[in-house]
Structure 1
Amino acid sequence: MMFVVKFVLKWIINGVIIIGFLMYFASVSFTTAATTATALTIISYFAGDHMILRSTNNTIATLADAVLTFAFLWLVSYLMKWDLSAVEILVTTVILGAAEWFIHRYVFQRKLSVQGS
């Protein structure tokens, strides 16, 4: 159950940031931005949070997430022929990196409990 709660929380936070920036910077549709955000969240959750964060620390996991985000957005932008500059990708990456740092620090490294009946 905690797997789902943590993933959904990360998906919502990442989604708000990625969807907002992609719609603003690249003028993509909500559906396209949401699909991109979902794909990035899935990759980032398993690679960053389950592999890197568990074996290293928050700083390294956040930097790895940032590198992954930049590379992913650059690749998707290139493949989809979006008008998204490196600076716009960097701005998105920095904002998302800050959010990831808080997610790792306050959610993944603490015992998040869900009240059940």
Structure 2
Amino acid sequence: MIKFVLKWLINGVIVVAMLMFYADVSFINAAITGTVLTLITYYVGDQLILRSTNNSVATISDAVMSFLILWLSAKEMGWTLNIGEILIMTAILCIAEWFLHRHVFKADLAMSTA
């Protein structure tokens, strides 16, 4: 559970700050988007993909999911995010995810390769 909370805090800070900066999204909407993004990427990326593959595959899958979630959220909510801004947010999330997988989920990686 602590790993999920840590991922939620890291992703939340990145997503909330950047959505509020780039698209003038309210804190509540940005926090909801960050929470949805974290829930999906944690359960699909970290619990399924990371355990059965490796850090690189899990990080790439997290990046693809993050991009799609941010793009769909922007489209459905009418936010003024363009593709470049979504790509920047995705790249920053991707870097954070790589470090998270590498250092926080290290025990899970060791167990999946054993």
TM-score, normalised by the number of residues in structure 2 = 0.93
In the TM superposition, residue 14 of structure 1 has moved relative to its aligned partner by 0.3
| 1:15 and 2:12 matched | yes
Give 1:33-52 correspondences, 5 Å limit: 33-52=30-49
2:82, 2:68 → 1: CA distance? 13
2:22, 2:39 → 1: CA distance? 22
| 1:57 and 2:54 matched | yes
Give 1:61-72 correspondences, 5 Å limit: 61-72=58-69
What is the alpha-carbon root mean square deviation over aligned residues? 0.8
TM-score, normalised by the number of residues in structure 1 = 0.90
Gaps in structure 1 of 5+ consecutive residues: 112-117
Kindly indicate which of the two structures has a greater share of residues assigned to helix.
2
**The residue matched to 1:68 in structure 2 has which SS?**
helix
Number of matched residues? 108
In the TM superposition, residue 18 of structure 1 has moved relative to its aligned partner by 0.4
**4+ residue stretches of structure 1 with deviation over 4 A?**
none
In the TM superposition, residue 109 of structure 1 has moved relative to its aligned partner by 1.6
CA deviation digits over 1:2-28, x for unaligned, max 9? xx1000000000000000100001100
2:28, 2:73 → 1: CA distance? 14
2:52, 2:107 → 1: CA distance? 16
Matching residue of 2:87 = 90
CA deviation digits over 1:63-102, x for unaligned, max 9? 0000000011000100001000000000000000000000
In the TM superposition, residue 110 of structure 1 has moved relative to its aligned partner by 2.9
2:72, 2:12 → 1: CA distance? 18
- % of aligned pairs identical? 56
Q: Which residue identity does 2:56 align to in structure 1?
A: T
**The residue matched to 1:36 in structure 2 has which SS?**
helix
Q: Which residue identity does 1:78 align to in structure 2?
A: K
